[in-house]
Chains A and B, each alone.
Chain A
């Protein structure tokens, strides 16, 4: 398939995954503000901004409401929800004939929904409704993608975009959270911290899934284990690594190039580390370096995919 098409499919899905992730995180933290907490609401929203990979400057004087608004609507913030949906739609528009009309229709509808005049005012009074609509819209798109588009090379690029974004976003979120809250093995979450750990799980849609495995007894280490190493939960790092590996394998099979090995090494390495490590080992080596490393691997994977399949030098392709 055309490199440009693969690139657009990748970014469509990556941007939409980011929009969905942001909407979920903002939703959870808006809910948290209702409860009593040892964090001031301004502190909380600085943390949310950092978890979304857009930390505020230290001297920023934005209050909680303005931060939440900027993360949702700010057109100059390329990671805001509306910017992400706009970018996803723009990418999909470039490859409209490559995706199913159901997918296009859904994405277009979501785009018009979030850009409708008056949305920002409605958000001020009823933010949760808006955030729910974004999440539902993104989920619908993903469902339509899986059920109406051929699971060929293009679909695999969509998977790569989705899970690379998910792995990177989850690693960033965990890193910010663990740097604020202690991870003593076998300790139960303290009373005030308890709701913060619930927030973390809910930010990954993981609260119910966690309880099914470990009961509602929240132990920080088990939470870390679940969100990083669980093989079955779709928002864990390991799950994302598995899906990336499968998708990039399929891409390599559909488009054989000499350089595919470079991508395979990276996916294999990340997958092996997440599959065969114990949480205790990771903790003893330091969770921060481990999560930083995951984020670095995500960015290397992005570059490798780009250089092998999208923007490769012509000379190398001619020699092949």
Chain B
């Protein structure tokens, strides 16, 4: 590790005095000395702008988030506690070449996963061939037998995907996990760009940053393209669990951007397998539902009977083909963390191609030798529950106590199917503006993929950053924040 304020042999001037490199890949500096070319413009700018000026811009950005009400809800506190999403002032920059790899890799991955979902809910060829173990699919809590044989319009199961990418110390992007159910965070990508445009207007042009403003339009036309046959001017709505949901801001934001109605379960009724929304002028038929409610809660008749967020009879209307749900029901089986280990095989099976983006090495606890290896070396691994997300239910070996490890060892032994382990990976680090200084912090990247008639990936994404020094956890519920993500034209 280099000493304070030093990179290789070069002493860094303020505000980089605290910038210390370590084994992690650094987004801004190469290992020996130099600034990476695509960060040069930002680097020079940071050297020339006085700290007070940066500070002022940071406050300006924070205020703008506050006034727009860009908040999320923290669970486990007083009902409906809203917080501002912490935002870092400095952009994370991605070159055109890197982006083109990401784009190819994600397109390939989503195409294959969609074929996989089609297959397991119909013929099940991949299971018959033994490429993916049958019991792994059928034991997944997210597998919905109600979807067996159900004809999904245009065979599109996953309309909106957010996959989490990380960068390994050798600089490669790899996929950490897929979110095929109801991925969130895209509103932070969009609003953070709006704010950054006001804070650094000149830098955008000088760097040649690609625009992401068309996301909402692209989402709308993707939803339009999956409407039921014969509904030429489909009525599209966004179904939210309501104001107490942590992502309510995003639901309202997207509905407004697309100009569609934001509905709750109680606004919809099903009659004769047709879904209507309750308007002041009477009932209006609904054709496409971009739902931001989990499978479990969507219809108390088909799934959890105690759900009051859903719509009774919705699943039958869906089965009858009178309404389209995006994403389809039962897609969670393909982002199960144990199934994740099979995604490279799934890609080869359906597309006959090598994966463009690699997976992180994953140990399945159902496999006896792998389980024993992991249980003996828990301090080296990250253990995750297969169905959880948002940083809940995981153990980070190197940062854990003996008691926590013992607890997880017992849990793994009790229910091996529910856990996987991955080696602790040093996420790459990007410069962040912290207390008047620029310091490196760990980041990941979540691009958003839209899958309708074609695959659309807006050039950008949500870069999440672990703002606590040394922390590897980027989730907003665990002290993470976000950064704007700049994809360059060339």
Chain A interface residues (CB < 8 Å from chain B): 1-4, 6, 93-94, 96-97, 101, 104-105, 153, 251, 254-257, 309-310, 312, 314, 317-318, 320
Contacts and interface: CB of A to CB of B under 8 A. Distances in A.
Given A255-B280, A314-B269, 18 more contacts: A1-B279, A2-B261, A2-B277, A2-B278, A2-B279, A3-B278, A4-B266, A4-B278, A93-B243, A96-B69, A97-B253, A104-B69, A105-B67, A153-B280, A251-B280, A255-B279, A314-B271, A314-B276
A320 B284 CA distance: 12
A93 B266 CA distance: 17
Contacts of B282: 255, 257, 312, 317, 320
Interface residues of B, number: 25
Contacts of B269: 314
A3 B256 contact: no
B243 A254 contact: no
A3 B67 contact: no
A254 B264 contact: no
Contacts of B280: 1-3, 6, 153, 251, 254-255, 257, 309-310
Contacts of A255: 279-282
A320 to B, nearest CB: 6
B252 A96 contact: yes
A317 B69 contact: no
A255 to B, nearest CB: 4
Nearest to A7: B280
B107 to A, nearest CB: 32
> DSSP majority for the B interface?
mixed
Interface in B258-279: 261-264, 266-267, 269, 271, 276-279
Interface of B: 67-69, 242-243, 252-253, 255-256, 261-264, 266-267, 269, 271, 276-283
26 contacts: A1-B279, A2-B261, A2-B263, A2-B279, A3-B267, A4-B264, A6-B280, A94-B242, A96-B252, A97-B253, A97-B262, A101-B67, A101-B68, A101-B69, A153-B280, A251-B280, A254-B280, A255-B281, A255-B282, A257-B282, A310-B280, A312-B282, A314-B276, A314-B283, A318-B271, A320-B282
Nearest to B82: A93
Contacts of A6: 280
A303 to B, nearest CB: 16
B282 to A, nearest CB: 5
Contacts of A104: 69
Contacts of A96: 69, 243, 252
B279 A318 contact: no
Greatest chain A CB density within 10 A among B261, B277, B281 is at B281
A241 to B, nearest CB: 22
